Structure 1
């Protein structure tokens, strides 16, 4: 059956480090109930089995494959690390009408996550990057204990290479973008988010921790609806 368009872009949801696409399930349920179409992608730098070896460019290629499979306009929502391969890839796709960085890294050309944090990149890029300190608090500080334990149980390994490779392009220079600052984030300091948000055309804020797609999916959906309604109307 041919898809009909009502002016709303499809949302492509790109997860962050140590996560898989399944982390978006609660937000997708809210989006579907509100009439928004969404898709996800599993990044190859996150490994469910074995040690992942893929980096930014393989992740970017996976995002590109998904973008090519979607008919009509697309808005890309990137969370945390996901902002890096989205920044690398999205500019190559004419159907991408907006970028949304959710507590996400928003690098300029030749910047990696190490660069953004002012750290020297390791010479050996093999292996995995250790899980963030105190992930219960850092990633899920505003989740109830049971929900946080369930989320922690879904985390997987993340390749070191993905954190150390720089982007060669910056899609936000040519595609309109919104940065959503998570004001109670325990993983990416809000001050760093505010600094990166200077690259964006629009800034929104959520009084949430690092993972509002789990802790505040309704509130996050409201922000997305506000942003994407403006995109659809051409405001």
Structure 2
């Protein structure tokens, strides 16, 4: 599941890399990107997508996408593992802003605008021309997703792997380490926040290995 301001389109290079390894993939567009939905609506969208898939599923969540994924996987029975890719592996009662220690805004607003410098934050190791194309597709993010709290965390009962992006400027590795302590296993990539764009083959190799590892 994609992160804030993005859409399922951001996974296309990684999808091609995984499908070349005979791993079928499926993406989801979260309604909070470009809309007014909160975590509950995103969770419903993820849950419905997962429920429509037969067989065991490995779910990959990036950045904000980790929050609705954590809730959705608690409500389905076909998820064998969840992978948090530089993602918010939050627990019950936590919120994205709360994780940073920031208070909820006293004057709530509808949207979080696209960050002023997405190139540096998200795509520092992505080719400049490709980064410019991606930035042009970003949309405002529902502000509710930054303050809504997690009501159930499926990773407490479903095996999880955390992939730390070591050069990340959006969610620094030091903060990822704190989140990764909650996972059952940890992997590392020498990438910025978006390895699905900057190093899709490397990421596909890690995910392929994770997907084929026995559970337990």
State the TM bucket, normalised to the shorter chain.
Answer: over 0.9
Give the C-alpha shift of residue 154 in structure 1: 1.0
Partner of 1:19: 6
Unmatched segments (≥5 aa) in structure 2 = none
Provide the rounded CA distance (Å) in 1 between the counterparts of 2:67 and 2:163: 15
Could you tell me how far apart the structure 2 residues matched to 1:76 and 1:234 are? 14
Partner of residue 41 from structure 1, selected from 22, 28, 37: 28
Match of 1:76 among 32, 42, 59: 59
Cα distance, 1:87 vs structure 2? 1.0
Partner SS for 1:199: coil
Instruction: For 1:195 and 1:224, locate their aligned partners in 2 and report how far apart those are by CA, in whole Å.
Output: 21
TM-score (norm 2): 0.97
Instruction: Spell out structure 1 runs of 4+ moving beyond 6 A.
Output: none
CA distance in 1, matches of 2:66, 2:135: 21
CA contact (8 A) 1:30 1:217 kept: yes
Rounded Cα–Cα distance in structure 2 between residues aligned with 1:113 and 1:81:
8
CA-CA distance at 1:123 after TM superposition:
4.2
Contact 2:17 2:200 in 1 (8 A): yes
Shift of residue 125 of structure 1? 4.0
CA RMSD, Structure 1 to Structure 2 (Å) = 1.0
Number of equivalences: 216
Larger CA deviation: 119-128 vs 79-88: 119-128
Pairing partner for 1:54 from 37, 46, 65 = 37
Residue of structure 1 in register with 2:81 after alignment: 98
Structure-to-structure mapping, 1:211-222, within 5 angstroms:
211-222=194-205
Mapped to 1, the partners of 2:132 and 2:175 lie a distance apart of: 27
Structure 1 gaps of 5+ residues are 1-13
Counterpart Cα distance in 1 of 2:203 and 2:115 = 23
Contact 1:182 1:209 in 2 (8 A): yes
Shift of 1:131: 2.1
Residue correspondence of structure 1 range 149-168 to structure 2 within 5 A: 149-168=132-151
Secondary structure of the corresponding residue to residue 75 of structure 1: strand
The answer (yes or no) to whether the contact 1:182–1:206 under 8 Å persists in 2 is: yes
Q: CA deviation at 1:213?
A: 0.3
CA contact (8 A) 1:53 1:126 kept: no
**2:163 counterpart residue number:** 180
**TM-score normalised by the chain length of structure 1:** 0.90
**Structure 1 Cα separation of the partners of residues 71 and 107 of structure 2:** 22
Task: Give distance in 2, aligned partners of 1:175 and 1:214.
Answer: 27
